[in-house]
Amino acid sequence: MKIWVKAGLIVFTLIIELVLANVVSFNTVKPDLMLIVVICLSFLSNPQEGIIVGFAGGLLKDIFSVSLLGTHALIKTTIGYLSGIIRERIFYQHLLWIITIATFFFTFLNNTLVYYLLKSFHTEYTFITIFKKYLIIQATINCILAPLIYTGIKRLLTYFQRWS
């Protein structure tokens, strides 16, 4: 039952990101909800589930985006694994702060890796422009949303765990 809840959560996140991302954008910068959900689900489970969630979320995002197929799947798989590893090595007293800091760091890592993957295919992007206009704003928005989404996902999984 728990895997169906996580799969439904990933699909719901993709739908929300596709439908509401243009409405919720701030200065043409959209929050990466799939990244936040991958981080939160990886913090709530283990690295192996983080890999699966990251790959599924990244692949779905790749299918519905205009970027190269596999870039988001590869990067979100890596981030899901790293989030699960961090979860195993932390104290749980200040978990919301750790998720906020990890979301900022992983947003920076996500966009940097996407840039270098696209750069390896000879696209015309400059890192400084992306950093100034896009990266800091998206990382800040994701940091604000991460504790709220984490709390909601934790309550949802607890609710379905009670009924299964």
Q: What is the pLDDT of residues 138-154, one digit of tens each?
A: 999 999 999 999 999 99
Round to whole Å and give the CA distance between 49 and 3. Answer: 10
Round to whole Å and give the CA distance between 51 and 81. Answer: 5
Share of the chain above pLDDT 90, in %: 53
Q: Which residues lie closer than 8 Å to 107 by C-beta, 6 or more apart?
A: 32, 35, 135, 138, 139, 142, 143
Q: Any idea where the domains of the chain sit in the sequence?
A: 2-163
Average pLDDT over residues 48-73: 90
One-letter amino acid of 127? F
Which fold, 2-163?
Arp2/3 complex 21 kDa subunit ARPC3 (1.10.1760)
Average pLDDT over residues 26-48: 90
Where residue 30 falls among pLDDT bands split at 50, 70, 90? Answer: confident
Contact 72, 64 (CB under 8 A): no
Residue 75 has pLDDT above 90, yes or no: yes
Say which range, 5-9, 48-52, 126-130, has the weakest mean pLDDT.
126-130
- DSSP code for 112: H
Average pLDDT over residues 24-53: 89
Q: What is the pLDDT of residue 150?
A: 95
Phi, psi of 109 (to 5 degrees): -65, -45
**Token pair of 128 as six digits:** 């400084």
Residue 92 has pLDDT above 80, yes or no: no
**Token pair of 155 as six digits:** 């309550």
Helices (H) and strands (E) in the chain, counts: 7, 0
Residue 80 has pLDDT above 70, yes or no: yes
Region of 88 (left: φ > 0; alpha: ψ -120 to 50; beta: rest) is alpha
**Token pair of 13 as six digits:** 């996140």
Where residue 102 falls among pLDDT bands split at 50, 70, 90? Answer: very high
Contact 104, 139 (CB under 8 A): yes
Q: Would the pTM of this model clear 0.85, i.e. be above it?
A: yes
